[in-house]
Amino acid sequence: MRAAGIGEQGQARLRKARVLVVGVGALGTHSSDALARAGVGALDLVDRDIVEQSNLQRQVLFTELDAEAGTPKAIAAAARLREVNRECVVTAHVANCTAEFLRALPRPDLVLDGTDNFPTRYLINDWCAEQRIPWIYAGAVGSEGASMVLRPGGACLRCLWPEAPANSDVGNCETAGILAPAIAAVTAFQVAEALRILTGSSTPSTRGVFTCDVWRGHYTVITLAPESAIDCPVCRRERFPALTETQPSAVSLCGRDAVQIDPPRRSPADLDALAARLRGVATDVLRTPHLLRFQADGVRFSVFPGGRTLLFGVADPLRARALYDRWIGLS
């Protein structure tokens, strides 16, 4: 309350605020931890994955015991945040973030992006545009990170990138590694902007994209046009493609410890490029005339040209979807 711009009135607004954090990995654990400590009244945490040993290098709120038990990330994070601030109502959702899921939630005042894939980000973008809810994009890989505020009435994510790139093209924590300071830098910006929005600050949100490279010591804000793109289907025509698109179906194979992921839009996948990216970060990478095989996270993948994938060594469809998005991302 002593901080300039907050005061008693701002703190009271934080206490009444509800924030949805989509993805409770590196980004989501940092941001939700900061918001709980700031006194935000309610947090909804959604994540479909479990805690693994490799997460502990960058994902705060988790312990080795969580990894050994394979605790769902949303559950482990919620338990820790309740210990941090018992007055904050933290709700854990072990679920896949879909349009149906979002529409069933209590309406948040703000959405924070803690995801690691663009299909989910475009879903957040379209839902927030439809519901007139502000959200804050964030992403980090290697030593680099970026974040920006997207508010109703301004440019949306589709204005900047009309089509989502495949995860296999942009890399992620598993394929390119990540430095924890990059996460801290990006979420510091994200949470500061969140506090300004939630407290009703008269200081406007930062206009543009905050970018950083913590290894090279580069920090800047890239200015963007304030107006939406004239051909944006969301901003100009009020069409929300991600809310009607069918997500890849995940089906457990009967009698086998395996799941099939089948993208709804079959299109030729560059399996040679994917194989090149995976060599050195996955094991047993084998490109045959008919498919691509590799192993990662204790699971064997068989990827077919249309994107259809068989995952062996996993039985939970939610877990399979998370692994598919992490290593392949062709949906």
φ and ψ at 171, to 5 degrees?
80, 165
Radius of gyration of the chain (CA): 20
- For 211, the token pair is 């970018």
Q: Which of these is catalytic: 156, 173, 232, 235?
A: 173
Asked if 46 contacts 136 with a C-beta cutoff of 8 angstroms, the reply is no
What is the phi/psi pair of residue 289, to 5°? -60, -20
H/E segment holding residue 324? helix 317-327
Q: Of 124, 145, 127, give the one whose Cα is nearest residue 136.
A: 124
- Residues 229, 233: Cα–Cα separation, whole Å: 9
* Token pair in block for residue 70: 């394979």
Element (H, E) at 271: helix 271-278
Cα gap 37→303, rounded to integer Å:
43
Q: What is d(CA 76, CA 291) in angstroms, rounded to the nearest whole number?
A: 37
254 is catalytic: no
> How would you classify residue 320: left for phi > 0, otherwise alpha for psi between -120 and 50, otherwise beta?
alpha
DSSP 104-127: HSPPPSEEEE--S-HHHHHHHHHH
DSSP for 11-55, please give it.
HHHHHH-EEEEE--SHHHHHHHHHHHHHT-SEEEEEE--B--GGG
**Token pair belonging to 225:** 């046009």
Residue 217, number of CB atoms within 10 A of its CB: 8
Question: Which positions are annotated as active-site residues?
Answer: 173
